[in-house]
Amino acid sequence: MNIKRLLPFILFISIIVLFWRGLGLHPNEIPSPLMNETVPQFHLPLLFNPAHSLSNQDFYGHITLLNIWATWCSVCAEEQDFLLQIAKQNDFYLYGLNYKDDPAQAKKWLAHYGNPYRLIGIDETGQVAIDWGVYGTPETFIIDQKGIIRYKHVGALTSNNWETELLPIIKKLQMEAK
């Protein structure tokens, strides 16, 4: 008798718990199927040297961070200060993929906000970004020494998510290489 009376209450509480958890989900963060896959094959002209290219061949022998950015992306501007900070560490190569942008505009933007990248490939049509499973800017990939994608971060890098999410992975990759 007592249990029967409690039943609606228990049901109510469990629905509340379910909905509460639903509120905490991030439907904008789509898990990438490229995790632990080799870098997709691509070839992009370099922003500052269009005769040369950034390609999947440039991802071997070192840890790489690939940052997808654009001048029309306001969050990318917010992120730039932090990228300049982390680029000072020599633990990894930081590459940029300039996404659906105007190269002249991109150069101007970098002159203003600073250029943390070792190499920048320009993807004016956004077709290479699709091969990388990009769906928004900024996005940052961590690629290990063997050219395998190990992590993807969607949204701006901050000292907070850097310390808690990305740096531990980089440290782990360094340990693995030793």
Partner 1 sequence: MKKPIFILFMICLTSSLCFAADEYDSFLSFQEQQRFHALTRELRCLVCQNQTLDQSNAALAADLRAKIYHQIQEGKSDKQIMAYLTSRYGDYILYRPPFNRYTLLLWCGPFLLLILAISYLFFYLSKARQTK
Which among 12-20, 28-36, 47-55, 164-172 is the span making contact with partner 1, rule CB under 8 A?
A: 28-36
Residue among 32, 55, 56, 174 that touches partner 1 (CB under 8 A):
32
Residue corresponding to tokens 């990388």: 132
**135-174 residues near partner 1, rule: CB under 8 A:** 135-136
Amino acid at 9: F
- Shortest distance in whole angstroms from residue 24 CB to partner 1: 17
**118-137 residues near partner 1, rule: CB under 8 A:** 125-127, 129-133, 135-136
Structure token pair of residue 75: 């969050």
- Shortest distance in whole angstroms from residue 39 CB to partner 1: 13
Residue among 11, 30, 36, 112 that touches partner 1 (CB under 8 A):
30
17 binds partner 1, rule: CB under 8 A: no
- Shortest distance in whole angstroms from residue 34 CB to partner 1: 7
89 binds partner 1, rule: CB under 8 A: no
* Closer to partner 1 by Cβ: residue 109 or 132: 132
Name the site residues for partner 1 (rule: CB under 8 A): 27-28, 30-34, 100, 125-127, 129-133, 135-136
